[in-house]
């Protein structure tokens, strides 16, 4: 399947380049927040001579869910942040923006590349594009395994949105298959593989491993440990992971701890339950920016992502860039692309602590298997670079594929 995607992308890009000559193409990206992992991608896209890029962010960040540092000093592309108001009701968020139409008028884009369809600004940009004859591309990470409301109204609105797009860009196989299920012509779907700054994580990990005791002592880390990175909420499978750890043999738990890096509504309950697990070491590292994350990845034995639902899971990219084997659940969007079961990691069914414990035991007890998987992870992730993602975005934005519907 991947070969087919690449063939389509390369053919359309070649045709588009032939028709354009040396003219630049104005691409306007509409996306939610200034996420640190998107900055290298947008920098790579803006550096292409045929691209004139402007990014419209709906907000700087989402402090209730993500406490990321905003690395504005690293931005090398034109951008703006719209005025916004955010309301959160339970697990649902409503983000309202002012000035969407005004910004689109001012940007004068040839193509609007819209990140998702769940914000009022997404719909405003779709209607604006249709009214002004501007090409509209949906950048979608949704997949069939995502946990959704599934209401009839929601599904009808989604289909309406999808059927009025000109083309689509997805991060990998799961989201590609989902759009096909919605009736999208596969020739209108382009792949921009989700990416992080591989060089940053790889170089940081290499430096940290040269002085492991220094960093381990500074961060109060166990000598050996399993690593989880993400929100501490039930749907990410954190209680499954804790239960699986408790099922490991006493000897193994006495030698290997577990580190939770992140925050969330279940942090207190998770800490309380962990007190009942003896022997064993369970460490809560709190929210970690990328510099601290590199240290956590570099010194871990394995990353475990036990999620019940996730469109992708960029922590897997980060761990692989640091040379780690990974254990993921099959519902993670990245699983089909990044993790080959038994080769660079293990793929488990969600909500199954018994099988998760068996997978953890296998990697923790077999050093040579772990080392081989670690090396393969690093090799595979090299193809999932910011430049590769930028290439896919450019192809989707500048292709001459007919309308998808």
Beta strands per DSSP E along 34-75: 51-57
Q: Which residue has the tokens 């399947």?
A: 1
Q: What is the 3-state secondary structure (H, E, C) of 204-238?
A: HHHHHHHCHHHHHHHCCCCCCEEEEECCCCHHHCH
In 3D space, the residue among 38, 24, 19, 117 whose CA is nearest the CA of residue 79 turns out to be 38
The residue ranges of the chain whose pLDDT is under 70 are 1-23, 90-91, 147-150, 400-405
Question: In what order do the strands lie in the sheet containing 282-284?
Answer: 282-284, 257-261, 225-229, 302-305, 326-329, 345-348
The dotted CATH code for 198-381 is: 3.40.50.2000
pLDDT at 91: 65
Q: Which residue has the tokens 């779907």?
A: 189
Q: What is the pLDDT of residues 49-89, one digit of tens each?
A: 999 999 999 999 987 777 788 999 999 999 999 999 998 77
pLDDT at 404: 46
Model pTM score: 0.92
Q: What is the pLDDT of residues 219-234, one digit of tens each?
A: 999 999 999 999 999 9
β-strands 84-89, 78-81: how paired? unpaired
Is 157 within 8 Å of 164 (Cβ atoms)? no
pLDDT at 401: 54
Specify the fold of 2-195+385-398. Rossmann fold (3.40.50)
How far does Cα 148 stand from its chain's mean position?
18
Q: What are phi and psi of 180, to 5 degrees?
A: -60, -40
Angle at which helix 367-381 crosses helix 314-321, to 10 degrees, equals: 110
- CA-based R_g, the chain, Å: 22
Question: Residue 137: helix, strand or coil by DSSP?
Answer: strand
CA terminus-to-terminus distance, the chain: 22
Fold agreement (2-195+385-398, 198-381): yes
- Domain range annotation of the chain: 2-195+385-398, 198-381
Q: Please enumerate in sequence order all residues whose Cβ is within 8 A of that of 206, keeping only pairs 6 or more positions apart, or say none.
A: 298
> What are the CA-CA distances from residue 397 to residues 23, 28, 170 (Å)?
14, 9, 12
- Cα separation, 196 vs 369, whole angstroms: 26
């Amino acid at each position: 399947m991947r070969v087919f995607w690449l063939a389509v992308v390369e053919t359309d890009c070649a045709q588009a380049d032939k028709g354009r000559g040396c003219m630049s193409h104005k691409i306007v990206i509409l996306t939610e927040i200034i996420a640190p992992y998107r900055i290298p991608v947008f920098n790579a896209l803006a550096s292409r001579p045929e691209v004139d890029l402007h990014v419209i962010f709906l907000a700087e960040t989402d402090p209730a869910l993500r406490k990321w540092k905003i690395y504005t000093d690293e931005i090398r592309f034109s951008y703006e942040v719209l005025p916004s108001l955010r309301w959160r009701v339970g697990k649902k968020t409503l983000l309202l923006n002012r000035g969407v139409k005004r910004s689109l008028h001012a940007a004068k884009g040839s193509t609007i590349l819209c990140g998702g369809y769940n914000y009022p600004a997404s719909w405003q940009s779709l209607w604006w594009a249709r009214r002004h004859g501007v090409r509209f591309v949906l950048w979608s990470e949704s997949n069939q395994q995502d946990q959704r409301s599934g209401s009839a109204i929601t599904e009808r609105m989604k289909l309406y949105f999808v059927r009025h797009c000109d083309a689509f860009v997805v991060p990998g196989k799961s989201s590609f298959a989902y759009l096909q299920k919605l009736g999208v012509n596969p020739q209108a779907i382009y792949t921009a593989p989700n990416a992080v700054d591989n060089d940053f994580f790889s170089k940081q990990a290499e430096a940290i491993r040269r002085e492991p005791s220094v960093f381990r002592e500074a961060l109060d880390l166990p000598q050996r440990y399993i690593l989880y990175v993400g929100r501490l909420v039930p749907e990410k499978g954190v209680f499954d992971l804790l239960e699986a750890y408790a099922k490991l043999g006493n000897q193994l738990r006495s030698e290997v701890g577990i580190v939770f890096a992140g925050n969330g509504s279940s942090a207190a309950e998770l800490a309380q339950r962990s007190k009942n697990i003896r022997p064993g070491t369970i460490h809560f590292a709190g929210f970690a920016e990328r510099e601290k994350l590199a240290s956590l990845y570099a010194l871990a034995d394995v990353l475990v992502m036990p999620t019940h639902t996730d469109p992708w899971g960029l922590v897997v990219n980060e761990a692989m860039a640091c040379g780690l084997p990974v254990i993921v659940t099959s519902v993670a969007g990245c699983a089909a692309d990044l993790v080959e079961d038994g080769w660079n990691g293990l793929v488990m069914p969600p909500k199954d602590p018994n099988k998760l414990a068996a997978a953890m035991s296998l990697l923790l007890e077999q050093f040579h298997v772990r080392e081989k998987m670690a090396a393969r992870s690093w090799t595979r992730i090299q193809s999932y670079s910011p430049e590769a993602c930028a290439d896919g975005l450019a192809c989707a934005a500048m292709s001459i594929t007919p309308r998808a519907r």
